[in-house]
């Protein structure tokens, strides 16, 4: 599996968790086991999913600061999952270049979300990277 495919599966996990309002290790571990067992992206999937879930409140606060007109409750659930995943990579995964995280998130928005979502995702993530680097 490619890293892009792994990101898409992890975005789907975050989407599912948001819809079910259940961020438990049980849900995460079952999903990871079902989709990444013995895959070359298993360690990446475990690290990123655990990082995003454990830092969810900080990620949402960062997201809220960068999109003051759209709190996380009003965002499309797909956009929220994409943004959370990318912010997790930008803020907590030092081995992932910021530009890669942004490009992958924009590509996912193009594939899975509404037409305007790619602009929203790109803008929010651009602001977060700028703030991180200031």
Lowest-pLDDT choice from 64-73, 82-91, 111-120: 64-73
- pLDDT at 111 > cutoff 80: yes
Contact 56, 92 (CB under 8 A): no
With cut-offs at 50, 70 and 90, classify the pLDDT of residue 69. Answer: confident
- pLDDT at 86 > cutoff 90: yes
Percentage of the chain surpassing pLDDT 70?
99
The pLDDT score that the predictor gives to residue 71 is: 74
User: What's the whole-number average pLDDT of the chain?
Assistant: 94
CA 72 remoteness from chain centre: 13
Q: Where are the domains of the chain?
A: 3-133
The pLDDT score that the predictor gives to residue 130 is: 92
Overall average pLDDT of the 77-83 stretch: 96
* Residue 43 DSSP symbol: H
CA-based torsion, 98, 79, 72, 19: positive or negative? negative
Lowest-pLDDT choice from 44-48, 62-66, 110-114: 62-66
CA torsion, ordered 97, 92, 127, 13, to nearest 10 deg: 90
Pick the CATH number of 3-133 from 1.10.940.10, 3.40.50.300, 3.10.690.10, 3.40.50.720: 1.10.940.10
């Amino acid at each position: 599996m490619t890293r892009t495919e792994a990101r898409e599966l992890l975005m789907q996990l975050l989407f599912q968790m948001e819809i079910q309002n259940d961020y438990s290790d049980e849900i995460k571990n079952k999903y990871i086991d079902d989709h990444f067992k013995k895959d070359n992206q298993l360690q990446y999937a475990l690290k990123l999913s655990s990082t995003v879930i454990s830092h969810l409140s900080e990620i949402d606060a960062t997201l809220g600061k960068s999109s003051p007109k759209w709190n996380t409750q009003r965002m499309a659930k797909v956009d929220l999952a994409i943004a959370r995943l990318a912010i997790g990579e930008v803020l907590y995964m030092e081995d992932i270049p910021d530009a890669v995280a942004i490009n992958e998130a924009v590509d996912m928005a193009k594939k899975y979300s509404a037409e305007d979502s790619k602009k929203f995702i790109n803008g929010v993530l651009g602001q977060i990277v700028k703030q991180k680097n200031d």
